């Protein structure tokens, strides 16, 4: 089967034939390779290729990417099936509006700017406390704060919208 992959921002087509553990695969115009792939634990792949043994661990990454870790090296890879039309996730937003979202679950301890305030890029907007550390959430761009849907003391989940800048 053919899959479109993106590694280090480069797109390539990966052609893969798999019979049990035996894999034949070709990336772009590279020569075809043979590998044996077993999965000893969920998310852990043991790969034998050209006489070498690789242990690859898979973690979910951002935006539907997967992160493959081999011997401490991380590879961010996006995989798509070109036969399926799938729109990329993500908020593209109305022009000019930008959301500030919580990168971590935590608690809003202090709001530093009022609704309607004009802020400059990098200016602290609020303080979020998570795991006993206080982190300043900063304005991603210069503009006016048009929405602050949270209050001091609120607990917020990762990804929650904290403020919108116009």
Q: How far is CA 12 from CA 25, 28, 29, 67, 144, in A?
A: 13, 5, 9, 17, 42
Q: In whole angstroms, what is the distance from residue 82 CA to residue 5 CA? A: 10
Please state the closest distance from residue 27 (CB atom) to other proteins, in A. Answer: 6
Q: Any contact of residue 16 with other proteins (CB under 8 A)? A: yes
Q: Any contact of residue 68 with other proteins (CB under 8 A)? A: yes
Q: Any contact of residue 161 with other proteins (CB under 8 A)? A: no
Among 22, 44, 97, 115, binds other proteins (CB under 8 A): 44
Please state the closest distance from residue 96 (CB atom) to other proteins, in A. Answer: 26
3-state secondary structure 1-63: CEEEEEECCEEEEEEEEEECCEEEEEECCCCCEEEEEEEEECCEEEEEECCEEEEEEEEECHH
For 132, the token pair is: 């006993």
Q: Any contact of residue 133 with other proteins (CB under 8 A)? A: yes
Q: Any contact of residue 63 with other proteins (CB under 8 A)? A: no
Task: Give me the sign of the Cα torsion angle 138, 140, 145, 151.
Answer: negative
Q: Any contact of residue 160 with other proteins (CB under 8 A)? A: no
Which range in 73-81, 88-96, 114-122, 140-148 contacts other proteins by CB under 8 A?
73-81
CB 140 within 8 A of CB 98: yes
- Contact partners, residue 103, CB within 8 Å, separation at least 6: 158
Among 110, 115, 116, 152, binds other proteins (CB under 8 A): 110
| Site of interaction with other proteins (CB under 8 A) | 1, 3, 5, 7-8, 12, 14, 16, 18, 23, 25, 27, 30, 33, 35, 37, 41-45, 47, 49-50, 52, 54, 56-59, 66, 68-75, 77, 79, 81, 103-106, 109-110, 124, 127, 129-136
């Amino acid at each position: 089967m053919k899959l479109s992959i993106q590694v280090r921002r480069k797109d390539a087509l990966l052609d893969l034939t798999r019979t049990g553990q035996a894999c034949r695969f070709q990336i772009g115009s590279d020569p075809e390779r043979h590998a044996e792939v077993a999965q000893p634990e969920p998310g852990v792949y043991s790969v034998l290729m050209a006489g070498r043994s690789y242990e690859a661990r898979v973690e979910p990454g951002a935006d539907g990417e997967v992160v493959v870790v081999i011997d401490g090296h991380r590879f961010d890879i996006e995989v798509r099936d070109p036969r399926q039309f799938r729109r990329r996730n993500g908020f593209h937003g109305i022009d000019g509006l930008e959301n500030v979202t919580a990168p971590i679950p935590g608690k809003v301890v202090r709001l530093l700017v009022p609704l309607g305030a004009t802020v400059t890029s990098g200016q602290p907007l609020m303080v979020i406390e998570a795991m006993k550390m206080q982190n300043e959430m900063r304005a991603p761009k210069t503009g006016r704060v048009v929405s602050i849907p949270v209050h001091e003391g609120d607990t917020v989940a990762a990804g929650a919208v904290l403020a919108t800048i116009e």
